[in-house]
Amino acid sequence: MNHYLHRAVVVAILGGALLSGCATGPRAEKNPAPPAENAVERKSAKPANPEEEGALDRRVRAIAHFAAGISAELNDDDDAAQEHYLKSAAADPGHEVLVLELARRLLQNKQLVKAIDLLTKATAAPRASGKMFAWLGLAYAEAGKTDQAIKADLDAISRSPELLMGYRNLFMIYQENRQPEAALKVLGDAADRSSDDPQYWVELGELYASYNQLHPDESQSVKPKVVSVLDRAAGLKPQDLLVMQKLADGYKLMGEFSRAEEFYLQLLDRLPALPGTREKLADIYLRTGKKDKAAEQLEAISRDNPRNEQAYYYLGNIASQEKRFTDAAEYFEQALKLKPEFEPVYYRLAELKINLNKPQEALELLDKARARFKQNFLLEFLTAAAHARSRKYGEAVKHFTEAEVIAKANEPDSLTYIFYFQFGSALERHGGYAEAEKYFRKCLELSPNSAEAMNYLGYMWADRGENLEEARSLIEKAVEQEPKNAAYLDSMGWVLFKLKQPRFTPD
């Protein structure tokens, strides 16, 4: 067991009990009364009220069991400690701090019968708070007693409408019982309350967000509700760091990136070393195309934590997009050095090596990935591309074929027009013209306006003296898109020569 009770409950029980039920102890008086007078006063004192005596007796027993519980806990006898704490709570069931801590422990240990018994007795008190009823509702729900749980939670809301726990409990019950309309209504009731506590609104926003994730088809109507309660929290200008963090996370989840950025920057200003904040800001900047700001945050992350491989990975991606290929390679290599099992880095670095015309280095890197990870589409595709760059077209065709088989089985979305174009190109250079034509046609089915594919297929036909009219038509379309492209104009000249027609003059 932890020692939470030692810090909180001991002060509340011992301090409250002793101060309310006992004198402060003997002390010297300036003018003490004569002994005889004191004796007369003692004889004439009224007998104690039986009800008061009973209350004092219960409190004394509560203190005694509580002290015995502390002693047992310090001796690592958790079972005995719990029994003493339960007896202490039974003697003083109105002591909320003790009862709720015990309830938490019992629920954590799945002692549901004891938790329900404890909380039932506590909620029987006339002044029992809504929090007591909310915990009773939670205990009933854990025990599968849905009707009793709903009743307890409704009582919790009635007694403490500003307490979110009752609404949360009901929301979870209705969600688990597949009653989304009832669940959403509970959140609406909670939103209709007034609260000056920003945490109330942030946590209500989290409940709305969880509903949104479970019912994405209702996102259009639910998302504004999430943003609305987050705005209410923001309007209260929270100062608690955890609340601010949850608020920023909520805005980010809803795609309200400017609002999220505002609170993340406030968090950084107050606590620059707060974990995760720079990463989330960097993610926002990457999503919104603010590469400079993203790089600024990522550089700070790598500076504060030089062993953060994710920061180097994203810096590599940014550098690659900006065509700073040497920098990108250095970032990727650093990420791989820090975390050799970081699979995506192998593929990004291999792609970079191919583009830098270093296919052999790419193949060596991909061999390492092949030895470490399962075969997958990207591994085979990049291996094929590296072999094609090395002019080993037979090997390229072999790996393109492997990539296609894997994609058809598991990753059909990977079969893009780019894949078919590169496969067709490798087949053509390997001498498989009929197969190449098939793949170029697939490429054009997916991307009818691909000038590169139209030119390649048209030139292949023209060079072989095949399908010359269709070849001319394809090349003309490519030239229309890029009238100053020298390669396309050369193809046009070649097909016209094959057709024995006058020289082509573009508009």
Tens digit of each residue's pLDDT (9 = 90 or more) over 403-456: 999 999 999 999 999 999 999 999 999 999 999 999 999 999 999 999 999 999
**Summary mean pLDDT of the chain:** 87
Q: How many helices (H) and strands (E) does the chain have?
A: 29, 0
- pLDDT cut 90: percent of the chain above it: 73
Cα dihedral 86, 91, 97, 100, rounded to 10, equals 40
The pair of three-digit structure tokens given for residue 70, joined into one six-digit string: 């502390």
The helix/strand/coil state of 110 is: coil
Separation between Cα atoms, residue 419 and residue 442, nearest integer Å: 10
pTM: 0.67
Residue 94 binned pLDDT confidence (cut-offs 50, 70, 90) = low
Q: What per-residue confidence (pLDDT) applies to 36?
A: 40
Instruction: Name which of 504, 499, 503, 500 is nearest 478 in CA terms.
Output: 504
202-257: per-residue pLDDT in tens? 999 999 999 999 999 999 999 999 999 999 999 999 999 999 999 999 999 999 99
Residue 502 binned pLDDT confidence (cut-offs 50, 70, 90) = low
User: Whats the size of the chain, residue-wise?
Assistant: 507
- pLDDT cut 70: percent of the chain above it: 84
Q: What per-residue confidence (pLDDT) applies to 56?
A: 59
Do the Cβ atoms of 311 and 301 come closer than 8 Å?
yes
Do the Cβ atoms of 85 and 69 come closer than 8 Å?
yes
Q: Which residue has the higher pLDDT, 151 or 2?
A: 151
HSE (side-chain half, CA atoms, 13 Å) at 331: 23
DSSP line for 158-198: HH-TT-HHHHHHHHHHHHHTT-HHHHHHHHHHHHTS--S-H
pLDDT tops 80 at residue 40: no
Residue type, 433: Y
Alpha helices, DSSP H only, in 339-450? 343-355, 359-372, 377-389, 393-410, 417-430, 433-446
Do the Cβ atoms of 156 and 137 come closer than 8 Å?
yes
pLDDT tops 90 at residue 156: yes
Separation between Cα atoms, residue 15 and residue 195, nearest integer Å: 32
SS3 content of the chain, % helix, strand, coil (to 5): 75, 0, 25
Which residues, at least 6 apart from 419, have a Cβ–Cβ distance to it below 8 Å? 381, 400, 403, 404, 407
The pair of three-digit structure tokens given for residue 264, joined into one six-digit string: 């993340």
Mean pLDDT of 17-42: 40
How big is the chain by its Cα radius of gyration, in Å?
37
Q: What per-residue confidence (pLDDT) applies to 100?
A: 85
Q: What per-residue confidence (pLDDT) applies to 241?
A: 95
Rounded alpha-carbon distances, angstroms, from residue 426 to 45, 352, 503: 110, 20, 31
Element (H, E) at 138: helix 130-142
Separation between Cα atoms, residue 346 and residue 324, nearest integer Å: 18
Which has the minimum average pLDDT: 28-32, 81-85, 234-238, 270-274? 28-32
Instruction: Name which of 250, 254, 253, 314 is nearest 278 in CA terms.
Output: 314
Q: What per-residue confidence (pLDDT) applies to 485?
A: 94
Angle between helices 393-410 and 377-389 (to 10 degrees): 160
469-499: per-residue pLDDT in tens? 999 999 999 999 999 999 999 999 999 999 9
Alpha helices, DSSP H only, in 45-95? 50-74, 78-91
pLDDT tops 80 at residue 90: no
pLDDT tops 80 at residue 78: no
